[in-house]
């Protein structure tokens, strides 16, 4: 997975993130201060499938995925601020040893409103079934995310050669250990602010929290522009 596919991967988690958790906390209702836009100092509180408030602070990891190349992705939420990290291994048997390419993004996420209705999709984008326990969930959280930075670093010569060979982000001077600003490339000429759709499952597990993402390029939206498709595979797991 070279840079353009990394960017799509990060967008998939940010522009249609489905957050599944069990860390319910007491708090105000859907119209509480958790919905107000701020600079990241207020905790991001979303409504879970139980109807309880859920504090999203913590680290969410996808673990090692792929069959070569391999990638390991995580997102860290601290209030309404988030950081996403993607590590890429271009060869080998998994996510072991030093990775070849690293990508980091950052931004803000704010809850806007409730969104009613969505469909689960499979790896081919076709309609599919919900993960066990989520069959009857109907409402999700409508979000606005704002991307503030994106950087990429080839960690090995193989990583630099691969990026240069594909002229990733229009660049041919990728070098080992040299970090480049790729925010414009990440956005692809689009707006840094986008509407997202997040679902928080705080009912199907008491020991593990899981996070599902939307397709790279969702094709279905509600009347106010929030994505209404959710992939039912390759979940992220809350690790701390």
Digit-coded pLDDT (tens) for 146-196? 999 999 999 999 999 999 999 999 999 999 999 999 999 988 888 889 888
pTM over 0.85: no
Q: Where in the sequence is the domain holding 78, given as residue range(s)?
A: 3-238
Fill in the DSSP letter of residue 199: -
The domain total for the chain is 1
Q: Please check whether residue 186 is in contact with residue 7, taking contact to mean a CB–CB distance below 8 angstroms.
A: yes
Tell me if 100 sits within 8 A of 156, measured CB to CB.
yes
- Cβ neighbors of 141 (< 8 A, separation 6 or more) are 46, 47, 111, 114, 115, 197, 198, 199, 200
**Which residues partner with 88 through β-bridges?**
71, 101
Please answer whether residues 67 and 236 qualify as being in contact, where contact means their C-beta atoms are separated by less than 8 angstroms.
Answer: no
């Amino acid at each position: 997975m070279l840079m353009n596919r990394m960017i799509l991967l990060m967008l998939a988690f940010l522009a249609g993130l489905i957050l599944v958790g069990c860390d319910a906390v007491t708090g105000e209702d859907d119209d509480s201060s958790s919905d107000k836009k701020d600079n990241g100092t207020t905790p991001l509180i979303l409504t879970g499938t139980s109807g309880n408030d859920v504090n999203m602070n913590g680290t969410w990891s996808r673990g090692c995925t792929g069959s070569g190349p391999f990638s390991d992705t995580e997102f860290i939420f601290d209030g309404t601020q988030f950081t996403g990290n993607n590590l890429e291994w271009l060869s080998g048997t998994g996510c072991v040893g030093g990775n070849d390419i690293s990508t980091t993004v950052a931004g803000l996420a704010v809850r806007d409103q409730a969104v009613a209705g969505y469909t689960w999709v499979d790896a081919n984008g076709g309609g599919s079934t919900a993960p066990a326990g989520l069959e009857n969930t109907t409402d999700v959280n409508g979000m606005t995310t704002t991307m503030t930075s994106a950087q990429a670093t080839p960690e090995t010569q193989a990583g630099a050669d691969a990026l240069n060979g594909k002229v990733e982000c229009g660049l041919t001077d990728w070098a080992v250990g040299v970090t480049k600003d790729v925010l414009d490339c990440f956005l692809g000429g689009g707006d840094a602010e986008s509407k997202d759709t997040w679902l928080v499952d705080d009912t199907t597990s008491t020991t593990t929290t899981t996070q599902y993402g939307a397709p790279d390029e969702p094709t279905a939206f509600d009347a106010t522009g929030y994505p209404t498709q959710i992939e039912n595979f390759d979940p992220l797991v809350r690790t701390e």
